Amino acid sequence: MHLHSHRLAAGRRSVGFTLLELLVVLAIVAFASAGVGFALRDDTSTRLEREALRLGALLEAARAQAQVSGVPVHWRITAQGFRFEPDLASTAQEPPRQWLDPDTRAQITQGANGVLLLGPDAIIEPQAVTLYALSESQQRLLLATDGVRPFAVQAVAP
């Protein structure tokens, strides 16, 4: 009798999914969710992040130039974008003076008299610039340094 019940169980296929099948389905759902999340990401915040990273790199380049040359570099906001005084040394092209996205605006939130002073000393005063989109001014990014570390992007609460 025991042998007979064992044969019945072996001949019957179990119903349901295997662990491997469930893991494959979960992986597919995870990849699809990530793709949807990136597709739905706000375009304005992406543009602001790109502008902030670019500006951070430009500010650090100006800071390095000021340290090497011994001449302080100032960064100012203009009606058309921004400018460095003196201009950043550029070998092949005119130094950047405009935002990549014309909707981008900036405000110096921590600096002396609306100007960022970038060097010539290795340690500078803490400074910060807030970037925002003119069309959606509630979305803001803060680009700041404590004077020792490089400029870094930080989120700003609305």
Instruction: For residue range 132-143, list pLDDT tens digits in order.
Output: 999 888 889 999
pTM of this structure: 0.70
Q: Where are the domains of the chain?
A: 43-155
> Which of 141, 115, 139, 140 has its CA nearest to residue 127?
115
The whole-number pLDDT of residue 92 equals: 53
Q: For the segment 37-74, what is each residue's pLDDT rounded down to a tens digit?
A: 666 656 888 899 999 999 999 999 999 989 999 999 99
Run of H or E including 44: helix 43-69
| Nearest partner of 63 among 36, 95, 88, 96, judged by Cα | 88
- In the CATH hierarchy, which top-level class contains the domain 43-155? alpha beta
